[in-house]
Amino acid sequence: MPQPHRFDDRLIVALDLPTAREALEMVDRLAPAVGFFKVGLQLFLDAGFSVCDALSKRGFKVMLDLKFHDIPQTVALATRQLAGHDIALATVHGYPQVVEAAAKAKGATKVLAVTVLTSLGQDELQQTGYAGSLVDLARVRAEASLAAGADGVVCSPLEAGALRRRLGGLPVIATPGIRPLDSAPDDQTRTATPAAAIAAGATHIIVGRPITKAPDPLAAARDILREIG
């Protein structure tokens, strides 16, 4: 039987690795300090639910980040596939029909609505034809998603403070785009440090490459945990 989870759930490590073997090797390296892991599209296409099940059987929590976005019936059917796999958090894109379909089919899994991808900047947003600010768009999508049944949202750490003030203390706010001061931004546009994201109101910070690509991933994870206190 898996041991009870005793780690700081605020840190979710993104297993953005190409194979289940590499992902589980990384998990073994991080296991002394980390108990919550994100499985994204790349890893899921290699291993499917087997990697999620391997994590949960070891007593870890799983965030499945597939960002469902399709017609409501397809989203509902896809969300029902999560049943029996002990998925703590799952992501869908923050459109009301998508969120509502997932929320009705979610079972014990919490559904998080993705507001605006952290790789998108204000210039790119304007190119899509949206004249408002990123914060405004994140707020509109967050409020609509919660009204449609989402348990929380995914947003960049730069919007976390405004959304926390607007949404109150209950909803989950998970923030990717976390970069310690000595880390490169990579392809993330809207970033903040771990401490800044938590101070702004994030319930979870999602950290991938600053940990998994570090010379010592366990030390990098522990540094972040010390930073968020």
Mean confidence (pLDDT) of the chain: 92
pLDDT at 8: 95
Active site residues: 65, 67, 70
Q: Check whether 16 is labelled as a binding-site residue.
A: yes
Which of the two residues, 121 and 175, has the higher pLDDT score? 175
Q: Check whether 71 is labelled as a binding-site residue.
A: yes
Q: Check whether 73 is labelled as a binding-site residue.
A: yes
Q: Check whether 66 is labelled as a binding-site residue.
A: yes
User: Distance between CA atoms of 104 and 99, rounded to whole angstroms?
Assistant: 9
Under a CB-based contact definition with an 8 Å cutoff, are residues 110 and 89 in contact? yes
pLDDT at 184: 64
Tens digit of pLDDT for each residue in 186-204? 555 678 999 999 999 999 9
pLDDT at 2: 46
pLDDT at 118: 75
Backbone angles phi, psi at 67, to 5 degrees: 50, 60
Residue 83 CB partners (closer than 8 Å, separation 6+): 107
pLDDT at 4: 47
Closest Cα partner for 63 from 139, 10, 142?
10
Q: Which of 85-99, 127-141, 196-210 has the lowest mean pLDDT?
A: 127-141
pLDDT at 117: 82
Confidence of residue 135 (pLDDT cuts 50, 70, 90): confident
CA distances from 6 to 3, 9, 36, 38, 220 (A): 9, 8, 10, 17, 19
pLDDT at 133: 82
Which of the two residues, 5 and 50, has the higher pLDDT score? 50
Domains, the chain, in order of start with CATH, read: 11-228 (3.20.20.70)
Q: What is the pTM of this model?
A: 0.92
pLDDT at 185: 59
Segment 92-100 mean pLDDT: 97
Segment 126-139 mean pLDDT: 78
Q: Check whether 93 is labelled as a binding-site residue.
A: no
Q: Check whether 123 is labelled as a binding-site residue.
A: no
